[in-house]
Structure 1
């Protein structure tokens, strides 16, 4: 069993009932940016059997200092230790889901790759797809697992810093893909960050465009066609994904992987870090 991008409801149900179920660790990342406890309430009301809850602010982010964005990455070793405390080992198959089309689950998926673990997949369609097929949910808390041995290994993903992207404005060696809603990209209706707009030269790819009408990821061929049209056929290694705070940007990175475009980087600080830097260039309106 080795899923590295997506896993379907049927595949997960078979794995839970199969001989390797003990190697699975199912994690619920349900969240709401406007209500920081809503995800926990969603989990408490009904979650996949055996799933543990992982909070975006508490486990998947570091403290904010006013200049490092709204969801700065935590220390890699501390994050690896948090996964070990949940019972993860180096051979664990992670399955991650949420109540929001994968927008939070993709962050944890990317972070597991960030600490060197490949066997991590997002449940395609999330909690809604699980329930739509009649699969059981429970309000029971997950059984406590003994701590695992989860090694911190070389990262499988690339990141770029604010300074890297400032330098990129001159070279344009990387194309920035912004996962936020089009109005926020244009600098309109900004409610989460103090300044609206986008990084000059960026192009807009709303993360929800990765999903079909059924809430599942579009087929790989469709995603590939859409990304190639947006990027002019650039190689994935020439792409960098960002959003408001480095969360939904990971959804685009997952979609790129599903499309077979591997190697794009993440700008973890994203717009919330960029717009907090004195003198940072800001563009408004549609993409150049």
Structure 2
């Protein structure tokens, strides 16, 4: 039976399958302050055979000014783009970046949203690959386009859902931003500082060891178990600044054995665009 990875995959495991038929590697490198960085870095060198998907143009949709900085892409357009990369419904997809899964987790979540289970993030990213003395190349991969058929899964909520459940025990809102941004300090990306009232803060980098790899599943389970405090994971709604790093917490929960939490994709950048929505500052 073919190996299947649904959350994380180590560099050596990926190396063993890198050239297997039906395995597709996707480079998700990006820099919020330099949007061309990821594509240019991919052109210079990447994991052998890796395709590139861009956070702004491939993994996000059209911005209206009120739907956040990285709204979800149109599912049909994303499915077509996946097909262009040689991905069909049976492929094992592995996403990586050079920022500890910060952007690769977005593709992981999007594919889960489309109904794809065989998708994983390279644990430790490009750095872990290089530490394992694995090769890079600069060749543009060749592929035969395939057809990808999506079946959307109920893994997201919208702003109206969040607003309707503020302060209610059936929603635990988890903000993945850094503690200072959560408190409303040092806000550099959005026009308003603060957080959604009632949210708690779980900085996505708290999912990682010092080497940039995810903590062991047992440790993540202990930490998220404390955060859940007996709640069902289905009651958890993840958010961040724009719906990107929140996916890191979703991935960590899944790796810890807590499936079923959901994403508020618009996140803080959508929430604060409407001045009628409440804002909180300071610690939770």
Question: Which TM-score band (shorter chain)?
Answer: over 0.9
Deviations 1:169-217 (A, max 9, x none): 1423110010000000000000000000001111100101101011110
Residue of structure 2 in register with 1:13 after alignment: 15
Residue of structure 1 in register with 2:174 after alignment: 177
Moved over 6 A (4+): none
After TM superposition, the score normalised by the length of structure 1 is 0.96
- TM-aligned CA deviation for residue 106 of structure 1: 0.2
Within the candidate set 200, 211, 216, 1:203 is matched to 200
1:245 corresponds to 2:242: yes
5+ residue gaps in structure 2? none
- TM-aligned CA deviation for residue 115 of structure 1: 0.7
5+ residue gaps in structure 1? none
Residue of structure 1 in register with 2:71 after alignment: 72
- TM-aligned CA deviation for residue 83 of structure 1: 0.5
- TM-aligned CA deviation for residue 147 of structure 1: 1.2
Q: What root-mean-square deviation, in Å, do the aligned CA atoms of Structure 1 and Structure 2 show?
A: 1.0
- TM-aligned CA deviation for residue 28 of structure 1: 0.1
Q: Secondary structure at the match of 1:22?
A: coil
- TM-aligned CA deviation for residue 153 of structure 1: 1.7
1:265 corresponds to 2:267: no
Question: Is residue 167–residue 198 contact of structure 2 (8 Å, CA) maintained in 1?
Answer: no
Q: Secondary structure at the match of 1:153?
A: coil
Residue of structure 2 in register with 1:151 after alignment: 149
Residue of structure 2 in register with 1:90 after alignment: 89
- Distance in 1 (alpha carbons) for counterparts of 2:207 and 2:58: 26
1:118 corresponds to 2:101: no
Residue of structure 1 in register with 2:48 after alignment: 49
1:25 corresponds to 2:3: no
- TM-aligned CA deviation for residue 152 of structure 1: 1.3
Size of the aligned set, in residue pairs, is 282
Deviations 1:27-55 (A, max 9, x none): 00000101101111221222100000110
- Distance in 1 (alpha carbons) for counterparts of 2:173 and 2:188: 22
- Distance in 2 (alpha carbons) for counterparts of 1:209 and 1:142: 35
Distance 1:61 1:27, change over 3 A: same
- Distance in 1 (alpha carbons) for counterparts of 2:51 and 2:279: 40
Deviations 1:147-182 (A, max 9, x none): 102111242x51111000001114231100100000
